Amino acid sequence: MDKKLLWILLMFCWVSFCAARDNVTCGIQTGLPLENAYGPYDYINPLHQSKLPIVLGAHFTQEVEMLKRGATAHTAYGDIDYTLRAIPNYHRALYAMSRLQIREKSTLKNSRSHYSARCYFERAIYFSPKDSVSFMLYGIHLHRVGSLDESLKMYSKAEYLGLDTAEFNYNISLLYLARGQLDVAREYADKAYSLGYPLSWLKSRLN
């Protein structure tokens, strides 16, 4: 094999697959930017929008998002991982990674080959700390894995950053319902429905 080609392949392996994943630090070095071979780019930064389609078109296909199969990798995990290294706060990929790891009943807490879902969320909010939706999605994930106190902290940060959508109010209402704080849950549920949230399940639980 040509030596130059071998070097390129080895470098690609190092950047994309071979580097051990640290699920303690999540690959975050305080005060330093996240690094990736392509990007990383901020999903909510208008100046970065032109850089996103090349990643999403190749790696975050409909089948990947639905967790059916990989696009360029053997599994959906590999393509979602690539997407989140290139665009750390891409909301749909964060949500997909959360669903995938919950479905597989795996925290990957001690993995050296994969980041945990928690790490992808930590990386997202480190990379783009004013992205309120990332905080909300992290709150949803923490609620679903049973970390209710941590979930509330994430929702509170999203709310502090100004998030006030129907989806946010619905999901934080679900959390307060799980915590047994029914009066607060009703307040957020009322706001969610006033903003047009379509599902009536929560309303029936709080009446």
Closest listed residue to residue 67, CA positions, set 15, 104, 35? 104
- Print burial letters for 34-68: b (CB count within 10 Å at least 16), e (below 16): bebeebbbbbeeeeeeebbeebbeebbbeebbebe
Place of tokens 């696009």: 71
pTM over 0.85: yes
| Domain locations along the chain | 37-146, 164-207
Q: Cβ of 193: how many Cβ atoms within 10 Å?
A: 18
Closest listed residue to residue 30, CA positions, set 128, 126, 122? 126
pLDDT at 116: 92
pLDDT at 17: 45
Place of tokens 């429905």: 193
pLDDT along the chain (207 residues), means of 10: 40 47 90 95 98 97 96 92 97 97 74 83 98 98 97 98 98 98 97 95 87
Q: Judge residue 102's burial from the number of C-beta atoms within 10 Å of its C-beta, 0-12 exposed, 13-18 middle, 19 or more buried.
A: middle
